[in-house]
Structure 1
Amino acid sequence: MIKKLTVVLLLAFVTHTTSAQEQFECTPEWVQKIEKIAPAKAEVQPQKTRKILIFDRFTGFDHWVIPHTTQVIKVLGEKTGAYEVRITKDVFCFEKNNLKSYDAVVLNSACSIGPRRDLILDCLDIDTSMGDEEKKEKAAQLEANLINYVKQGGGLMVTHGAIVMQNNSVPFSEMVGGSFDYHPRQQEVALELCEPNHPLTKAFEGKAFVHTDEPYLFNKAYEQKNFRPLLYMDTDKLEGKNKPIEDNIRYVSWIKRHGKGKVFYVSPSHNAQSFEDVRLLKFYLDGAQYVLGDLDCDDSPMNQQ
């Protein structure tokens, strides 16, 4: 009886500890693999050259998928001709004059350190030429620059952990559509389509998308539902929740307007393996084309329906 119980407990342990997927480097071979399966054509052919700035610096949790995601977005643009990219970790990329050079910005899992949750200030902290008050003022200015850039018509794509970038900032939360609350342990998550016939969920051909991920839960501006949801999960099916969840339907990807600009938040994915599915690649490409202003679709918020 004791031996049987030991086996059962061991199997349970293995099940829970192997839910995370094995990490691997973003090699040229893996990028070539993505190039082969990525869509050959964009949903919409842009009328002019589009430029995207990818910011992929982190100061908090190191998501191993960051370099993979950057390369995925780069490949999607290069292969289809939908856009060109520049990649940077320089926080001064949020200066007004620099932002003017781009049609959209991608914040790629730019996760900040808790409990302050201010990545811009985190980055400025290493600058010994600036005093503390000067750093705070500059950080606030750079954040405001990004928010105003979107309000004035710039596009913004936020992937996975980048929603944590300025997590205590209400203006940032309102722009993105929410802030990070917490996530249960990494596990297989079934993501359902909010609107199977919507242009932004076309990639999934009306079927749920199952993958291993951190099931993110959100707060602050998320509660306003001032966005059009694309993907959702049923939290009743999640394991490892550390507090009650009133609404079991929780959204993990959405689009929204912010002023004259367009925002696309996409929580999938925490693991590079998920990008080996052409459906997710197309979803990313379509989302990028939405924020660039090339893919037109209904983005009216659910709180007005």
Structure 2
Amino acid sequence: MNRRSFLRTTTAATLGSWALSRPILAAGPKRKILFFSKSSGFEHSVITYKNGQPSYAEKQLLEMGPKNNWEFTFSKDGSLFNPQYLAQFDALFFYTTGDLCSPGTDKNPPMSPEGKQAFLDYVASGKGFIGSHSAADTFHTANEAVKGPDRYKNHGEEADAYVKMLGAEFIIHGKQQVSKMRCIDPRFPGMENHADGFSFQEEWYSLKDYRKDLHVLLLQETESMEGPMYQRPPYPATWARKHGKGRVFYTSMGHREDVWTNPIFQDVLAGGISWALGDATADVTPNIEQVAPGALTNPNYEEPKPKATPAAPKP
């Protein structure tokens, strides 16, 4: 696979048939964002390239970019991660899975351990980081198995450095269903029109190992949810936090195509990106202990039911 197949920069010269006619509404130089979607684990359909075209998520970002004066570079190449490469961007946006230091599922070049440290240092130096959905299913602590009782434990200060930067780690998800998001901070950018919360169909993540310094924006209501992984107190699903001098925004939403085109999700995402870039201000005083006191109460582990053995054919 050559570099062009997994690296694209969205400039006026390269957009071609993807170019948009909408005017740029923001003034000043464009803000440059790297959208990184390497899948060392499961590859979601919304970030899969088909017939050489941008992924579904990338198409939505290409529409959001001109309206906000953002220029996206799309890449699945972890080998590019070094201080010099990252220095050209104002923020990183991850939609990733697994151990990104391994070629894994999509076989695209992995990061080196030095590359991983470079982007953690990049964020801490004062840059922005945005994570959507499976960004929490990335760099699991101690590379533990996705299944098994240890997968449900909180690791605290022993958690992977990436997990501590992001603010939490994915455990498991159940069937897609309609669930309620409770808005905790309607003053945060993108939340202004959603103070009463909202509900829609999505693949909702159950998460663990929340950092104590999270500023929770959206809380996952669990009372009416189906599945043992959601039998727990309400827990953070979207948040902001400071990492060193940097700004980290994460939302668990983003699995389904119709979520990416949902105006609510687009509001939440645009507000989070603007804040992570430093173009919008917000009070991100930690509030997790006040608004989600049961956040570290994880669901009980249940052994998966064995698959039924097919009946032997009749002689």
Matches of 1:161 and 1:171 in 2, distance apart? 17
Shift of 1:89: 0.8
Q: Which residue of 2 aligns with 1:215?
A: 204
Shift of 1:101: 0.4
Shift of 1:119: 2.1
Matches of 1:201 and 1:150 in 2, distance apart? 24
Aligned residue identity for 1:189: S
Aligned residue identity for 2:276: V
Q: Which residue of 1 aligns with 2:235?
A: 250
Q: Which residue of 1 aligns with 2:137?
A: 164
**Cα RMSD for the two superposed structures:** 2.8
Give the counterpart of 2:251 among 263, 266, 283.
266
Shift of 1:106: 0.5
Per-residue CA deviation, residues 262-294 of structure 1 (Å, 9 max, x unaligned), is: 011011121111233222212211111111110
Is 2:120 aligned against 1:150?
no
Per-residue CA deviation, residues 41-75 of structure 1 (Å, 9 max, x unaligned), is: 87xx4643210011112122221122222222232
Aligned residue identity for 2:85: N
Shift of 1:303: 5.1
What is the TM-score when the length of structure 2 is the normalising length?
A: 0.71
Matches of 1:182 and 1:124 in 2, distance apart? 19
What is the TM-score when the length of structure 1 is the normalising length?
A: 0.73
Q: Which residue of 2 aligns with 1:3?
A: none
Q: Which residue of 2 aligns with 1:26?
A: none
Shift of 1:203: 4.1
Indicate how the Cα distance of structure 1 residues 278 and 207 shifts in structure 2: closer, same or farther if over 3 A, else same.
same
SS of 1:251 mapped into structure 2: strand
Per-residue CA deviation, residues 104-148 of structure 1 (Å, 9 max, x unaligned), is: 01102x111xxxxx12223599699xxxxxx9xx63211111110
Indicate how the Cα distance of structure 1 residues 126 and 299 shifts in structure 2: closer, same or farther if over 3 A, else same.
same
- Kept in 1, the 8 Å contact 2:177–2:202? The answer is yes
- Structure 2 matches for 1:79-94, cutoff 5 A? 80-94=67-81
Is 2:163 aligned against 1:177?
no
Per-residue CA deviation, residues 165-195 of structure 1 (Å, 9 max, x unaligned), is: 2122521111000111112221111111012
- Kept in 2, the 8 Å contact 1:200–1:230? The answer is no
Shift of 1:226: 1.7
Which one scores higher on RCO, CA 8 angstroms, separation ≥ 6? 1
Shift of 1:197: 3.4
Matches of 2:252 and 2:60 in 1, distance apart? 15
Indicate how the Cα distance of structure 1 residues 301 and 282 shifts in structure 2: closer, same or farther if over 3 A, else same.
same
Give the counterpart of 1:193 among 168, 183, 191.
183
Q: Which residue of 1 aligns with 2:225?
A: 238
Indicate how the Cα distance of structure 1 residues 231 and 279 shifts in structure 2: closer, same or farther if over 3 A, else same.
same
- Kept in 2, the 8 Å contact 1:203–1:280? The answer is no
Matches of 2:117 and 2:105 in 1, distance apart? 15
Aligned residue identity for 1:297: A
Instruction: Using the aligned pairs only, state the percent identity.
Output: 25
**Structure 2 gap segments, 5+ residues each:** 1-17, 48-54, 142-158, 291-315
Is 2:97 aligned against 1:111?
yes
SS of 1:201 mapped into structure 2: coil
